[in-house]
A and B are shown apart, each in its own frame.
Chain A
Amino acid sequence: MIALRGIPSVEGMQITPTDLGLIARVVSLGKQYGTGAGAVTALEDVSIGLRRGEFTAIMGPSGSGKSTLMHIMAGLDSPTSGRVWVGDTDVTELSDSALTLLRRRRVGFVFQSFNLVPTLDVRGNIMLPFELDGRRPATEEQAWIDGLVDSLGLASRIRHRPHELSGGQQQRVAIARALATRPDLVFADEPTGNLDSRTGREVLALLAEASSRYGQSIAMVTHDPVAASHADRILYLADGRIVRDSGRSTPEEISTYMLAMEQAA
């Protein structure tokens, strides 16, 4: 399912990512920073597809290209070579304003830190994607958002500013915002990186639940084997290449593989 380069393509008929049950797909992706002697190859010939409704973890040593891959898939950065689809949209061909719309409507983000707009309260942050779109949430969307706010335990904090919240609360607000528009895909780059392990687990459980209960597609970068064990699928990156693609694993299996990878390096 992973080696997409081998996909048969019938003459005159493009197979779309959707036909393959994919929510995002990259083919022969390469990313280089800089040129000449100082050039860094962050990604090399990466081809993967993320399946709709799945919670995918991306692991790998520091500097292996995880963040770069995620940024490119989300349309935040452009690749040096290869192509990227979100749904059936070829992201590599989009203009800046089309990319902006894509980010606004079809993907959600949770970063390691600094996720929230400091001047807006919790409600303002969660509603920002709608406001940017110049629309109010429809009744059912509002119900969904209220449900999110409740289940994330933010109801009593709705009027607070980010600096009045703990790190864990801030991440929960970020998750609520990422899920609010029910985007095709949520990207999370080390969402628990700044949290203590208990708070981190809670945040992970929330992401896992969004995926299992509501079929939200999620791609999450992490260093933490326990975090990755919540995922349906784990992709391992090393030196800018995909080196392993495995299904749900226990933290022990993941640690063992990560250790082996580090020793091999």
Chain B
Amino acid sequence: MTRLRDQGPTLLVATLAAAFGAALLQVTGILAVVIEDSGAAESGTVRLLLGLVAGVFIVIAVYVSAVVTANTVATVVAGRTRLIALYRLIGSSARAQRTTIAKEGLLVGIAGAILGGVLGSAVAWAAGEIGVLQGSLPRFEHSLLDPAVLLPMAAVVVTTWLAAWAGSRHVLAVRPSQALGNSAEADLETVSRRTGRAVAAWILGIVGFALLALGVVVGLFRPEGVLIGLLGGILSFTAIVLAAHRVMPPVLRAVGRAFGDGPVARLAAENAVRHPERSARMTIGLVIGVTLVTTFAVTMESYRTMVLAATADRAELQDALGPVIDATVAVFSILIGFSAVIAAVGLVNTLSISILQRTRELGLLRALGFDRRQVRAMVVLEAAALAIAATLTGLVLGVAYGWVGAQSILGSVGGGPGIVAPTIPWPIIAIVVGAAILLTLVASVAPMRRAARVSPVVALAVQ
């Protein structure tokens, strides 16, 4: 049967998502208890609100982790076309193979959920204890055995399972004949044509962008425009995700061209775009992460600028509001940044897997006269192309969405229709770019070492 063998990456992603969910809910629980103890009048409402906010961020994190898992599984499957074809050739059914993969996904999901649940609860507990010790929190009674924590855990199990199922759909497209022949590379991606997906992407895109525009217009008169904009944002972004295999390659190509045209740079750039499907898979998680962070940051920043401008003549109000807004921005940024971290883990995984799958090709390059340094440089440049392209795309989308958000919320504020210039939160952009550079380095270390170690002989042994 087709096994995923190396389940480490998927387990890590599932664990991170579950830990995030558990920690967030535990912290929410602790805060709710603390607030109740303080005897605030509206503690019920606060609790509900906190739960709602936590829920939104957990959903985002679980969603990103599902995208990442599906893409990791798909990358593994694509690299195993020949093996799968061989099994098909000797009589195994495609469905049986896919079921095995999905079952593994389920097991990994369960393991990740339990690990993450325990880990997240432990982190929340430690944070609470530290808070009490430092005196920033009063003593409180709160049991960590909160049944609510089971919710994100269950969500992780289900989504990992479904993601493995979705990611393994290519198994069905493998033809037994692909085990034969000596074609340089069995090309799985071109086999499956999906007009359905293209149509869906177009419809969602058109409707989504129309709603975005409508949101902006309505927002000129009423702040409720943001709700229309939100719907438009979700739809249009889904369209972009669906069409990622068309959207990402041009960006990757442009980034690759910036690397110059030595043989190493050219091969790295080509590797990054050789399969539109694969490059889309590798980058889309990170695009989602960066877009979320940026959208959020731009909206918040514009909001802050607006509030500060509106209260310019009331210094005491500004002094009171400023820190609250700052703290909110910081907390929300960290919460949403976690999803970007999960997405980054996804990029690291898929890059490692794809280098591993190219052992033979690397051996060939070594035989033809690539030295170790050149092989290493190729891997780093490939990682850089992917990370830069994803980050740029995410930043552009994020600024655009962020502006729509700010415009539709604030367009009607101050008495009449007005245009809100998007405020770009440079510190956060700098953090995102810095993180992308760091990610490139981290993502390329292990594959780089492995690639440089490939001996020409081992790689060229006919399997």
Binding site for B on A (CB under 8 A): 71, 76-77, 96-97, 100-101, 103-105, 109, 111-120, 128-129, 131-134, 162-163, 167, 170, 177, 193-194
Contacts and interface: CB of A to CB of B under 8 A. Distances in A.
B182 A194 contact: yes
A68 B366 CA distance: 17
A252 to B, nearest CB: 28
Given A111-B460, A117-B267, A129 B368 contact: yes
5 contacts: A111-B462, A114-B184, A120-B270, A128-B368, A129-B369
B370 A132 contact: yes
B369 A76 contact: no
B374 A132 contact: yes
Contacts of B281: none
User: Which secondary structure dominates chain B's binding surface?
Assistant: helix
A132 to B, nearest CB: 5
B417 interface: no
Contacts of A103: 366-369, 456
A96 B184 contact: no
B185 interface: yes
B274 A118 contact: yes
B181 to A, nearest CB: 8
Given A103-B366, A163-B183, A167-B183, 15 more contacts: A77-B456, A100-B366, A109-B367, A116-B184, A117-B361, A118-B184, A118-B185, A119-B270, A120-B267, A133-B369, A162-B183, A162-B184, A167-B181, A167-B182, A193-B462
Interface residues of B, number: 30
A118 B270 CA distance: 10
Nearest to A68: B457
B322 interface: no
Contacts of A129: 368-369
Contacts of B187: 163
A39 B366 CA distance: 27
Contacts of A177: 368
A172 to B, nearest CB: 14
A227 B460 CA distance: 22
A118 B263 contact: no
Contact of A76 (B361, B367, B370, B374): B367
Contact of A112 (B271, B369, B456, B462): B462
Given A76-B457, A163-B184, A97 B361 contact: no
B263 A132 contact: yes
A100 B364 contact: no
A109 B262 CA distance: 22
Nearest to B459: A114
A109 B457 contact: no
Contacts of A100: 366, 369-372
B123 interface: no
Nearest to A109: B367
A119 B462 contact: no
Contacts of A96: 371-372
Contact of B184 (A104, A132, A134, A170): A170
Contact of B262 (A97, A120, A134): A134
Interface string B91-117: 000000000000000000000000000
Nearest to A170: B184
A114 B270 contact: no
> 6 tightest A-B contacts by CB?
A104-B369, A119-B270, A131-B263, A162-B184, A100-B371, A113-B182
A226 to B, nearest CB: 20
B170 interface: no
Contact of A97 (B267, B364, B371): B371
A52 to B, nearest CB: 22
A105 B368 CA distance: 9
Nearest to A114: B360
